[in-house]
Amino acid sequence: MTTSQLDPALPSPPRWAVRAAHAAALVTLPSGIWRLLLATGFTAGYTEAGYEAMGFTGWGAVYVLGLSIAGELLALLTLGMVRPWGEVLPRWIPLAGGRRPDQRAVTVAAGLGAGALTLLLTQFAFWWAFPHPNMTPLGNTVAGFLYLPLVAWGPLLAAVTIAHHRRRCVAGA
C-alpha cells in the first residue's frame, strides 16, 4: 500500500448502494440502544428475576456495552465502501493513514462478514416463535421489534459489497 490520492477514474457509487450503506449503519441502532438501557440498569422488558438471571450488572454490563459499540462500529465500516475515506484511509489512522486499503481484502472481508451476519442474525426474524420466559409480554414484543432490523444487516452489507466490487472492476483497480 502506498500513499495516494483519490482515484479520479473510479466511478461514483450508485445511489442505491449509498442508501444501503447508510441503512446498514442504522439497523444496529435499535438493538444497541436497548442493550445500553440494559447495561445502565433498566430492566428494558425483562422481569426483575430475568434481569438478575441474565447478569447485566458488573462485567455483564461491560460486555453488553462493548457488544453495542462494536456492532455499531462494524456497521459504520460499510460506509467506507461508498465514501472517500474508504478509498484512502484518513491520516489519523496509525500506520495506515493516507494509504489505499487492499480492495480485494476489503471485498473478501465484507463478503465473509455479510455471510456470517446473515447466518447469525436471521434467527431474529423468528423471535416470536421462541419462548422468552424471563421477559414480560410487552418487553418480549418490543425487544423483538428492536432486534428485527438486524435481519437486514447481512443482506445490506452483501449488496454494498457487490456494488463496491463492481465499481472497482469497472475502474480496473
Does residue 152 fall inside a structural domain? Answer: yes
Distance (Å, whole) CA 68 – CA 24: 15
Residues 96, 1: Cα–Cα separation, whole Å: 8
* Dihedral sign (CA 122, 50, 145, 154): negative
Apex 99 CA angle, 160 and 171, nearest 5: 50
Whether 117 is in a domain gets the answer yes
Instruction: Flag whether 24 is in a domain.
Output: yes
Task: Give the rounded distance of the alpha carbon of 87 from its chain centre.
Answer: 19
Q: What is the tally of structural domains in the chain?
A: 1
Q: Does 10 fall in a domain?
A: no
**Alpha-carbon distance 70 to 75, whole Å?**
8
For 23-36, what is the mean pLDDT?
96
Confidence of residue 170 (pLDDT cuts 50, 70, 90): low
The C-alpha cell 466511478 sits at: 11
Q: Is residue 4 part of a domain?
A: no
The pLDDT tens digits for 117-133 are: 999 999 999 998 988 99
CA nearest neighbour of 111 among 150, 79, 159: 159
Residue-wise pLDDT tens digits, 62-102: 999 999 999 999 999 999 999 988 888 888 888 888 888 88
Which residue is associated with the grid cell 454490563?
61
Domain assignment present for 6: no
Provide the 8-state DSSP code for 61: H
- 73 domain-assigned: yes
| Full residue range of the structural domain in which residue 165 is found | 15-171
Q: What is the pLDDT of residue 168?
A: 82
Q: Are 68 and 29 in contact (CB under 8 A)?
A: no
Cell digits of residue 43: 430492566
Classify residue 9: in a domain, yes or no: no
pLDDT of the residue at 8: 66
pTM of the predicted model as reported, rounded to 2 decimal places? 0.87
What pLDDT does 96 receive? 81
pLDDT at residue 1, rounded to an integer: 41
d(CA 156, CA 146): 17
Average pLDDT over residues 31-48: 93
Mean pLDDT to the nearest integer, 41-59: 90
